Amino acid sequence: MSTQVNELDAKEHTQKSDGRKQSVGLRENHVTAVDSRSQGFIKRYLSDEFVADAKIKTWEVMVELMGFIILNLKAIFLLFLDVYYLIIPPEERSLQGQLVLVTGAGQNLGRELSLQLARLGAKMILLDVNEEQNKITADMIRDAGGEAYSFTCDVSDQKSVAAIGTKVRKEIGHPGYVFNNAGVYKYKPFLSHTPEEIQMIVNVNLLGNLWISREFLGHMIQHNRGHIICISSVLGFIGRNNVVPYCSSKFGVKGMTEALAEEMRMERRSGVKITAVHPFLISNIEDVTPNLKYPWLFEILEPSDAASRIIRGVRRGQEEIFLPEKLKPLMVFSKVLPRKLRRLFGDYVEK
């Protein structure tokens, strides 16, 4: 009996021992499987290919970050440069002996531009649709000891512009400065404008700038030297009632100058300058009397004063000239405001 009990105890001990061995074996197999998966994961994600790819992506992120930092540094530098030139303006270029063409030279701003440019030593090429008034301007320049050539030209007519352009180049030469000044103006409700008046405003104010610029730009591009100046308006920045066709034409002039300047930049013609001039109001406009709460901010300039400021800005190489100059931050800031806010502030500055 004792022998049988001992045999049973021995079997039970053997079975327990075998069970522990099997359990240990399963655990060992499980650990081995886990180790195999871990090694597979490591081989898969820490392989040379993965490490190389991670390095490339890290480098790309660093390059993008550096590009963003450099972009912001350039922006800060350009803002600083703009402020610096407001305090210390660049040197004004000499116009002595330069051929300068002015459209709409027979009266008002065009005449003042022509007279003052001639006093600075420029040789003047005068274009105007009014032959008699244009000759008077030319005579005034000659009487003061200057040099002037007058041509009758309708800038809204492309064929007339092309014919005059050929004649100017043949008889005088290629102008280095072109002032697109000719313009017309009507102040009344949109539906009171006749179709003929709308056509005339757009043709003279917008197409006239395009035809004249196109006629003389080629030589400037060829020699990477020259300056085109377009007289736009503050009404090329903001729209107002009773001047719908006029605003449309001046918005077009602003777009033209921006696009043409960008084209010169992309074609690496840094020597060809494009300038847009945005006057608020010049005193020869007789049918508009603004009722402003802050007249010191929105100056109404005499043609002689406006011409002087325009010429100074052109000689300094400014891309945009606001008259008065203090309007520039207001006009730029107004473009980021919603239309309702612009209307609110516009109503506020008017009495």
Q: How far apart are CA 183 and CA 110, in angstroms?
A: 10
Contact 311, 117 (CB under 8 A): yes
N-terminal to C-terminal alpha carbon distance within the chain? 126
Q: How far apart are CA 244 and CA 185, in angstroms?
A: 10
The one-letter amino acid code at 350 reads: E
Q: How far apart are CA 64 and CA 133, in angstroms?
A: 61
Q: How far apart are CA 20 and CA 223, in angstroms?
A: 96
Give which of 139, 129, 138 is closest to 182, Cα–Cα. 129
List Cβ<8 Å contacts ≥24 apart for 87-92.
Answer: 89/316, 90/316, 90/317, 91/316, 92/312, 92/315, 92/316
Phi-psi group of 150: left, alpha or beta (phi > 0 → left; psi -120 to 50 → alpha; rest → beta): beta
Positive/negative CA dihedral, 206, 134, 213, 307: negative
Contact 148, 175 (CB under 8 A): no
Q: How far apart are CA 207 and CA 154, in angstroms?
A: 11
Work out the angle at residue 98's Cα, subtended by the Cα atoms of residues 94 and 99, and round it to the nearest 5 degrees.
150
Q: Which residues are catalytic?
A: 246
Residues contacting residue 110 through CB under 8 Å, at least 6 positions apart = 102, 103, 104, 128, 137, 179, 181, 182
